[in-house]
Amino acid sequence: MAKTRTARSTARRRREPLSPERVLDAALALADEQGLEALSMRTLAAALKVEAMSLYNHVANKEQILDGLVERVAAEIELPAAGADWREAMRRRAHSAHAALMRHRWATMLFVSRLNVGPVMLRYVDATIGCLRAGGFSYALADHAWNALDAFTYGFTLQVLNFPLDPQQYASAAAGFLPMIPPERFPHLHGMSLEVIEGRQDGLHSLSLGLELLLDGLEQLRRAEPSAIRG
């Protein structure tokens, strides 16, 4: 009986007409499962069990699909609330963006390498600028602020995604590398490695620590900015 229901469900999905939304759904699932390098019009058509040419009735090309995928991921990021404390809003925004990009491990490079001018991304950026403006930033400083925060968040995410060691391997790796960093040549790196090996420092990179340093610096700039240019 369960197999029959499953077969009916599969048959309904196959009969469901193609649409831009269905194409994007399949593209997102394919990218999440196999990586962005596996995404092509041919593999997408195969996943949808249609001919590749039929996709062009709903999407112009692969570039449009990539833009749509950026929009899908951007929609998962928390928007800064109007009137919210700007520091807390930027903090929540960064953590939300990092979490979304970690769920879709292929997405960070699309965020940093495309113009990304879809309505969802534009709303995300507009809400960010609005929050900073309400917090006392000029347009110029708000521009610097959100770009600095994004650069750190995206860079941190890429480092996490591409770092060749798992966190639980840090101490053993540090012990293995220790003979390569003799204290007479690299005293400070040697000393830090010992901290990790002996458990006094975990060696983990911290999104929160970097964010607080950035937010502190932006607050200083905000306070020092002449009021005449805040309009």
pLDDT tens digit at each of 231 positions of the chain: 555 655 555 555 556 799 999 999 999 999 999 999 999 999 999 999 999 999 999 999 999 999 999 999 999 999 999 889 999 999 999 999 999 999 999 999 999 999 999 999 999 999 999 999 999 999 999 999 999 999 999 999 999 999 988 888 889 999 999 999 999 999 999 999 999 999 998 888 899 999 999 999 999 999 998 753 444
The closest alpha carbon to 77, from 10, 139, 157, 143, belongs to 157
* Pairwise CA distance, residues 102 & 161, whole Å: 8
* pTM, two decimal places: 0.87
Given the candidates 3.40.50.800, 1.10.1740.10, 1.10.1040.10, 1.10.10.60, the CATH classification of the domain at 2-59 is: 1.10.10.60
Residues 158-176, buried b or exposed e (16+ Cβ, 10 A)? eebeeeeeeeeebbebbee
The reported pLDDT for the residue numbered 225 is 86
Domain with CATH 1.10.357.10 in the chain: 76-229
CATH number at 76-229: 1.10.357.10
Distances (CA, A) of 221 to 101, 136, 137, 144, 217: 29, 11, 9, 11, 6
The reported pLDDT for the residue numbered 230 is 47
The tokens of 81 are what? Answer: 């609330």
Domain with CATH 1.10.10.60 in the chain: 2-59
Residues 6+ apart with CB under 8 A from 123: 79
* Pairwise CA distance, residues 68 & 9, whole Å: 26
Q: How many of the other CB atoms lie within 10 Å of CB of 60?
A: 10
Give me the residue label for tokens 């521009």. 143
* Pairwise CA distance, residues 49 & 62, whole Å: 17
